[in-house]
Structure 1
Amino acid sequence: MGLFFAFFIVSGFFKNEKAIAKSNISADTVLMKKHLQSIVETPQFRNHKNIDQLNAVAEYIRHDFNKYGDSTGFQEYKVNGQTYKNVISSFGTEHTKRIIIGAHYDVCGDQKGADDNATGVTALLELARMLKGQKLNYRIDLVAYTLEEPPYFRTENMGSYVHARYLKDNNIAVYGMASVEMIGYFSEEKGSQEFPVGILSWIYGNKGDFITLVKRFSGAGPFVKNFISNFKSSQQIKTETFPAPKFVTGVDFSDHLNYWKFGYSALMITDTSFFRNKNYHETTDTLDTLDLPRMAKVIDGIFLSLIHLK
């Protein structure tokens, strides 16, 4: 345990002084709000039972992706006789090696899921707009997943499992993957941030005012190392890195789980979910709880990280 805490201390206080070049393209909070409303304010809840609603959201994502991507389409698969869809849009398709940026569009049960995970999907939609026409060093696939929530979480029916297995089975060259999982909830109140291990509040403070990059404790891989360096160097938002061991609750509670399973370098970008946002998997996870300006800064950080990856 001593080594564990020492690693967090070193990671938490490490600062990258060299800023990367900024861009004249940035996330648009007006468009973000439009996407969030379209995803959240639906006739039915977008859970596994309401397949027509899931398909409607998938079509909304595909339609918007199609405005910007080099290629866009569905990855369809069947579960219990029903067809579910991942939505994929690709940029820089002249490159062989690719980066996956993913977020799930389904919700857990009968709730709106504004932060979980309409914020992640909105990030994908804004990234699509921002990536159009950019000179890239890798192919970038934006992937919106289905069936990431219970009862399919940690099963082979997860959209991220289906996608990661497809990459592995077809020997597709992957540089790395980033899961965008809840990026819209922030708080300046003391005591608003909890941790899986209480002593971490001594290091990071107890305010939920930062975004977190969660990586494997060891063997994170070159993509994760370079992405984190770029993200911090973009200087868009207060950022902390959690190099967490497997036993830490929540470290693998998202889409990156299945890329880890197949041996890919992957990380999660998150506001720390239930460690901060008590609306997690509750009917109170609504649009009015989100901080769109800070969410936009997270998206800007992802964008700048991607376009500067070497």
Structure 2
Amino acid sequence: MIKISTFLLLSFFSFCCSANTDTVAVKKHLKNITKTASYRNPENIAQLNAIAHYIKTDFLKYSDKVSYQEYKVEGKTYKNVICSFGTENKQRIIVGAHYDVCGNQEGADDNASGIVGLLEIARQLKGKKLNKRIDLVAFTLEEPPYFRTEQMGSYVHAKSLKDTKVDVLGMISLEMIGYFSDKENSQNYPVAVMSKMYGNKGDYITLVTTAEKGKFVEDFSQHFKQAKAIKTEEFNAPRSLPGIDFSDHLNYWNFGYSAMMITDTSFYRNKNYHKKSDTMETLDIRRMAK
């Protein structure tokens, strides 16, 4: 059996290669997810579940191991969508992104971009021989008012893994991966001194980790940076730093799993965050594909 580091590089990182990413499909998915009759939030549960159905239908093109993980909140049924590859293997890698939005807005970067990332990974994993199981999970209810509650789809999923004693190697959260800028002062930070370390241009993708990141995150980060598909920075910071745990990976941390977030840094760069201006027209499809 090949070593985990080689597995990560050869079997999983194929999606990093922009030549293999279908930018036409990326644009189509973004349009279908964001340009809808109503907004995909808990107030519009029919629209939210229609997007879940869209994700499941696309997943089924690439795997016959696709399912809903349903749960109830205040009498309403919400759905995580799970697509699995390499199910003959015991040890599991989770890659997740949330498909709901905050309020009445399209949520192109937050977080249709992450969902499209999942769909592209699924397409590229089709037919691949793996020595680890990979579960791609589209989460519901990441946004307020459910953020940091047990109603988050990622909490429900992480708890189910813990309760059933699943052997989880690690988890990756794709949270806002589509917004980039080459303009001076387009990148902000929670601590001003970070601008001296990482620069003031929002022209990179970020791997968010902590000091207790674990071997999976350490290996993943190393190989992601070595691939050099896109300019990459690693933020290794305590969870107390604002924004470090502002996504679904926080629930996997809370259950003791090695987890991380891949992000364009969210509101530290993208000023359309949680606004009606967060549309697909503002995204950099070329760099998002990388």
Interval of TM-score (by shorter of Structure 1 and Structure 2): over 0.9
Structure-1 separation of matches of 2:94 and 2:38 = 29
Amino acid at match of 1:51: I
Corresponding residue for residue 263 of structure 1: 256
Amino acid at match of 2:266: S
Corresponding residue for residue 82 of structure 2: 88
**Deviations 1:178-236 (CA, angstroms, capped at 9, x unpaired):** 000000000000000001100110111100000000011x2111110011011111110
Amino acid at match of 2:214: G
Q: What does 1:49-68 align with in structure 2 at a 5 Å threshold?
A: 49-68=43-62
Determine which of 235, 245, 248 is the counterpart of 1:252: 245
Amino acid at match of 1:151: P
Determine which of 113, 122, 128 is the counterpart of 1:134: 128
Corresponding residue for residue 40 of structure 1: 34
Corresponding residue for residue 266 of structure 2: 273
Structure-2 separation of matches of 1:233 and 1:132 = 24
Corresponding residue for residue 202 of structure 2: 208
Q: Secondary structure at the match of 1:223?
A: helix
Structure-2 separation of matches of 1:148 and 1:128 = 21
Work out whether residues 73 and 89 of structure 1, in 8 Å CA contact, stay in contact via their aligned partners in 2.
yes
Q: What does 1:178-193 align with in structure 2 at a 5 Å threshold?
A: 178-193=172-187
Structure-2 separation of matches of 1:28 and 1:223 = 28
Q: Residue 246 of structure 1: CA displacement?
A: 1.7
Q: Residue 137 of structure 1: CA displacement?
A: 2.2
Amino acid at match of 2:152: M
Structure-2 separation of matches of 1:70 and 1:212 = 32
Q: Secondary structure at the match of 1:149?
A: coil
Structure-1 separation of matches of 2:96 and 2:212 = 21
**Deviations 1:87-111 (CA, angstroms, capped at 9, x unpaired):** 0000011110000000000000001
Corresponding residue for residue 238 of structure 1: 231
Asked if residue 172 in structure 1 is aligned to residue 166 in structure 2, the reply is yes
Kindly report the root-mean-square deviation, in angstroms, between the aligned alpha carbons of the 2 structures.
1.2
Unaligned runs of 5+ in 2: 1-8
Corresponding residue for residue 287 of structure 1: 280
Corresponding residue for residue 68 of structure 2: 74
Structure-1 separation of matches of 2:198 and 2:166 = 38
Q: Residue 70 of structure 1: CA displacement?
A: 4.0
